[in-house]
Structure 1
Amino acid sequence: MIRLPWAKTRCQTLEPSSAIDLRLLTRVIARVKLNRALRYRLYWKFLKQFNAVELIGWRIVTSSIILLCVIIYTKKLRNLLTALRDRKLRARVIFASIMLAINWTTYVWAVVHENVIETALGYFISPLFTMIIGFAVLRETMKAVHRAVIVFAVFAIVILTYSYGRPPYLALIIASSWSIYGYLKKQVPLSSLESLTAEVFALLIPAVAILFWCFNRADSVPNSATTIQWIFVLFTGLMTAIPLLLFGAASRRVRLSLLGPLQYFVPTFNFFLGWLAYNEKLDVTRLVGFAFVWFGLFILVTDSLRSSAKKIKTA
């Protein structure tokens, strides 16, 4: 049975005898990622007539309502408020929430403006940015394979800049904001539910201000949305909270060596969705740029799997 992030008893590791659980959890993660990938693109495409910043405002407000109900029901609110008395923790949560808002806004803007393939690029190169953070901030050792991966990434960005006629800034913003967000999340000693709730509530006041600012616009949600569009807007909170919490719960039970390759599932789906379903441009030059990214990721994943195998043998 999958335990939710707020369950009192947590299983942090997967026992070797739990082969069925491993297969089940792998399926859960894959389905969560597929559903999230498919619904998010179709969801935001359906709402593309609205301003992306306004949509993020609604997403934050509706998410905060859902997460507040859940955290009160699970009696975790007092624990969260106690933890947030720490000034350093509050600062990290606020900074993480800013990165999350930047990531969400850039992603939604890119999707509604026919740049789905570039969002895929952003999440493909995000692990490379995470690796750079490890070297620059955590002073981790840089091996020759890591240098090679960075060189491939630089070549890819140069080629894609030539192909797009501009730097792939949407991808770079998505990758950097998501990597910094992931780094900050690891520095916050809170559960998935607690940290996500704190981050969303840190954004609540700016989100409400944005909605008030957009209210008088003729093309705003209150002034132009149909009944079905209103339903879609109000359900953005569920679309945000449930996949993140379920994935957080399942990922705690799966080995990192398995979880790592799964992170490329969504951007791969995005790539083919943008190319085949939305007919976004994918010329030879752009494909060569992506090939450099994919080859670098292949090297990175292969090295990671080898390191994990060595650790298991020596354990």
Structure 2
Amino acid sequence: MNKKSSLRGYLYVFQAFAMWGVLAIYWKTLKHIPSWELLSHRVIWSFIILSVITFFFQKDNILTIWKNKKDRYTLLVSSVLIGINWGVFIYAVNANRIVEASLGYYITPLVNIFLGIVFLKEKLSPIKTVALILAVTAVLFLAIQAGKPPLISLLLAFSFGIYGLIKKTTTVDTLPSLAFETTALLPIALGYQIFLFSNGSNHMLNTDIQSLLMLLGTGIITILPLYWFMKGAKKISLISVGFFQYTAPTIMLLIGIFIYDEPFNLNEALAFGIIWLAIILYVVSLINDKPKPEK
């Protein structure tokens, strides 16, 4: 692979994670609209865009999903998980808990390690063991200090972690599988919109033009970073992707603290410090696990 192709790969992946990070601002701008309503718009407009793309470019893959019972049932479960993840993140942003959301995405790779042990019977290297212990220590510390576990962080981390674990069992491409997932969620989203229209509480027809355009754009902001990630991940190594994935929660953390003035006390700083140490160890483990070239 030439340097120019690799450079494009780095750019695509960085763009994807950076956009996922700044999306907190996008959802925050729509905070006057309830989170469930925002989630239903995200599902509906993502479904429309993905349906068009898959119909013209990957129709055969969609037909394959419907014919394969195992993939169909697996993606039904993953659709619930991605719906939970999207909904919790939108809620977190509009409830002034972006810092807690960022923690969730920081610990997601470490949750993946845990899920790999439990469900895939993977063996831990000493470095990954220490990283996992540090992550658990940080979460327990936050729970003790707050008097309750960081539910938003854990919901985001485990919903996305289990989502990724489930997707490992399918051979379906990303866009067709996401098209199927949004199709599965569509009846709920449309039903909720009909309910809102029936009682006159729908914001789509009773809002300013900027909010209306942003609601219509929820599909684009869902698909575009995913497309960039798919393009970039094919051109660079898994280790490089591992480095870049922390761009998103770092941007979220900075947005929460410096733009929206969310509290970030000494205890939280200590917990995040432990998490960052665990992340460093995790990245080191990625480098150590890289296959050595044969002599």
TM-score (norm 2): 0.95
The one-letter code matched in structure 1 to 2:38 is L
For 1:103-159, what per-residue CA distance to the aligned partner results, in whole angstroms no more than 9, with x for missing partners?
A: 000000000111111111000000111111111111111233232222211210122
Q: Distance in 1 between matches of 2:203 and 2:247?
A: 32
Closer, same or farther: CA 55–102 of 1 in aligned 2, 3 Å: same
Say yes or no: does 1:43 pair with 2:23. Answer: no
The one-letter code matched in structure 2 to 1:194 is P
Q: CA deviation at 1:213?
A: 2.3
Say yes or no: does 1:64 pair with 2:44. Answer: no
Q: Distance in 2 between matches of 1:128 and 1:285?
A: 21
- 1:83 equivalent among 61, 65, 90: 65
Say yes or no: does 1:254 pair with 2:236. Answer: yes
Say yes or no: does 1:139 pair with 2:95. Answer: no
Say yes or no: does 1:98 pair with 2:80. Answer: yes
With 65-74 and 154-163 compared, the bigger mean Cα shift is at: 154-163
Counterpart in the other structure of 2:130 = 148
- 2:6 equivalent among 18, 22, 32: 22
The one-letter code matched in structure 1 to 2:260 is Y
Contact 1:50 1:220 (C-alpha < 8 Å) held by counterparts: no
Contact 1:159 1:286 (C-alpha < 8 Å) held by counterparts: no
Q: CA deviation at 1:223?
A: 5.2
Q: Distance in 1 between matches of 2:154 and 2:233?
A: 26
Q: CA deviation at 1:313?
A: 3.5
Q: CA deviation at 1:164?
A: 3.3
Q: Distance in 1 between matches of 2:175 and 2:187?
A: 20
RMSD in angstroms over aligned alpha carbons?
1.6
Q: Distance in 1 between matches of 2:20 and 2:279?
A: 22
- 1:32 equivalent among 2, 10, 16: 16
With 152-161 and 29-38 compared, the bigger mean Cα shift is at: 29-38
Give me the identity figure in percent: 26
With 180-189 and 107-116 compared, the bigger mean Cα shift is at: 180-189
Counterpart in the other structure of 1:312 = 292
For 1:200-249, what per-residue CA distance to the aligned partner results, in whole angstroms no more than 9, with x for missing partners?
A: 11111111112122234555323532222111101101111121122112
Counterpart in the other structure of 1:234 = 216
Q: Distance in 2 between matches of 1:152 and 1:217?
A: 49
With 125-134 and 243-252 compared, the bigger mean Cα shift is at: 243-252
Say yes or no: does 1:130 pair with 2:107. Answer: no
With 25-34 and 40-49 compared, the bigger mean Cα shift is at: 25-34
TM-score (norm 1): 0.89
With 213-222 and 223-232 compared, the bigger mean Cα shift is at: 213-222
Contact 1:51 1:220 (C-alpha < 8 Å) held by counterparts: no
- 2:197 equivalent among 208, 215, 224: 215
Contact 1:103 1:177 (C-alpha < 8 Å) held by counterparts: yes
Closer, same or farther: CA 287–185 of 1 in aligned 2, 3 Å: same
Contact 1:83 1:89 (C-alpha < 8 Å) held by counterparts: yes
Q: Distance in 2 between matches of 1:49 and 1:237?
A: 19
Moved over 6 A (4+): none
The one-letter code matched in structure 2 to 1:176 is F
Say yes or no: does 1:174 pair with 2:156. Answer: yes
Give the number of aligned pairs: 295
Closer, same or farther: CA 199–314 of 1 in aligned 2, 3 Å: same
Structure 2 portions without partners, runs of 5+: none
Contact 1:50 1:219 (C-alpha < 8 Å) held by counterparts: no
The one-letter code matched in structure 2 to 1:25 is G
With 187-196 and 211-220 compared, the bigger mean Cα shift is at: 211-220
